[in-house]
Structure 1
Amino acid sequence: MYLTRFRINTVLRDARRLLSSPRTMHAAVMNAFPDVLPTDTETPRVLWRVDRNAKAEVFLYIVSPAKPDLTHMVEQAGWKEQPNWQTYDYGPFLERLATGERWAFRLTANPVHSIRRKDGEPTKVTAHVTPRHQAQWLLQRQESAGFRVLEKPEEQRLLPGGDEHELLVHDRRSQAFHKPGQDAKAKGKNRVSLVTATFDGRLEVVDAEALRRTLTQGLGRAKAYGCGLMTLAPAE
């Protein structure tokens, strides 16, 4: 597995077009892997995430089973006079993960749940829209994903409830677009509504093998649209 970071030149019009559409960004990312077939369920999938750290500091992260060739992205959204991306062998890092380690993490995800509005009706996938419910969505999945979000000391908790963990929910977005290749009559049925949230926090590894799966296979839904990719960094 490989981890790639690409810095996006937000001044360029094509870069802004990519950033405005998860569908367009997905196509650009997949163009970096000519040998990866979208229908291949045997090969680990390609995960990606956009980090908007500041207006002029935007990065695209990719985790993939093969090295990407992002030359086309340089032409659309990079700088031609300097290196635009770095790719690292992710395997050694993943293999070293051990139970009990503590890391800072970032995850952009599509926090949803299934509800039934009336008795007898089928369940419907519905997005969580408040920071508290979005945080709860992650906390409900942490153990099966191989980690535990650390809790704050009591003296650092600012609220009587909902502030127990070292977890920040931010960059919450709601977008809507149509799936590609649909005719005009089918557009209403193939409209994608996407709610995303970015989680920053600190975690402890409770199951190293499960966490490796989370880091390489993603967490939650809408992985094709920039959700599910968790990355780790040394915790201060």
Structure 2
Amino acid sequence: MFLTRFRFNTARIGARRLLSSPQRLHAAVMFAFAEPPPQGDGGPRVLWRIDRNGRAETYLYLVSPAEPDLTHLVEEAGWPETGRWQTYDYEPLLSRLAKGDTWAFRLTANPVHSIRRKADEPTKVTAHVGWRHQMDWLLQRQEKAGFAVLEKEPEQRLQTELDHYDLTVHDRRQLEFTKPGQRKPVTLVTVTFDGRLQVTDPEAFRRTLTVGLGRAKAYGCGLMTLAKG
């Protein structure tokens, strides 16, 4: 597995065009591989995420089974003369994950739930729009995903139960695009989680980092990255 970071030159039209469409950006990410990586077979897959750290500081993070070649992105949306990308071997970090490890993390996800208005109607997948429901969506999945979100120190807590966790929800976005050959647009609501966690099941957690968490993985959701903290 490999972890890659690429910085967009947001002054360029090509960068803005890609960043405005998850569909185009997904295609650009997949063009980074000479042989199409496996997708949707239950094993490690290509995951990606856009981080906007400032007006002119936008990064693509990419986790993949094969090492990517982002020459086309540099030429279209980067700095062709001076810009590159950084790719790191992800296996050393994955292999040393151990129960009890603590990490800071970031995850962009598509928190949804299934609803039914009437008993005889089929269920419909609907986005969570409130931050409390979005936070609860992640907390409901943490055990199976091999981690536990850490709790705040007692003096830092507010009155509500969800405020006990070292977790924030931000950068809510509603994305709309049309898939090739379809007329009806696809609408996705995405949010970014920042927080601190403890590894509870290293094998399950490695799977979370390489397979992703939640839906809409092809469109920039599901990739969790770690940092010391």
Equivalent residue for 1:210? Answer: 204
Q: Percent identity?
A: 69
Correspondence for 1:195? 189
- Aligned pairs for 1:52-201 (under 5 A) are 52-182=52-182, 187-188=183-184, 191-201=185-195
Moved more, 73-82 or 153-162: 153-162
Distance 1:83 1:154 in 2: 46
Deviation at 1:7, TM superposition (A): 0.7
Q: Is this contact kept in 2: 1:43–1:65, CA < 8 A? A: no
Q: Which secondary structure state, in structure 2, belongs to the residue aligned with residue 143 of structure 1?
A: helix
User: Which of 214, 218, 222 is equivalent to 2:216?
Assistant: 222
SS of equivalent residue, structure 2 residue 69: coil
DSSP 3-state at the match of 2:205 = helix
Deviation at 1:175, TM superposition (A): 1.4
Question: What displacement does 1:159 show?
Answer: 4.0
**Residue ranges of structure 1 left out of the alignment (5+ in a row):** none
Mapped partners of 1:9, 1:79: distance in 2: 7
CA distance in structure 2 between the aligned counterparts of 1:14 and 1:5, rounded to whole angstroms:
18
Change (3 A) 1:42 1:142: closer
- Structure 1 residues 68, 37: closer, same or farther in 2, change over 3 A? closer
- Aligned residue in 1 for 2:48: 48
Q: Gaps (5+ residues) in structure 2?
A: none
Separation in 2 of the partners of 1:4 and 1:206? 26
CA distance in 2, matches of 1:96, 1:181: 44
Q: 1:43 to 1:160 in 2, by over 3 A?
A: closer
Give secondary structure in 1 for the equivalent of 2:6: strand
Q: Distance in 1 between matches of 2:149 and 2:40?
A: 33
Q: Alpha carbon RMSD of aligned pairs, Å?
A: 1.4
Give secondary structure in 1 for the equivalent of 2:99.
coil
User: Shift of the alpha carbon at 1:176?
Assistant: 1.3
Paired residue total: 229
Q: Distance in 2 between matches of 1:42 and 1:115?
A: 26
Alignment of 1:20-39 (within 5 A): 20-36=20-36
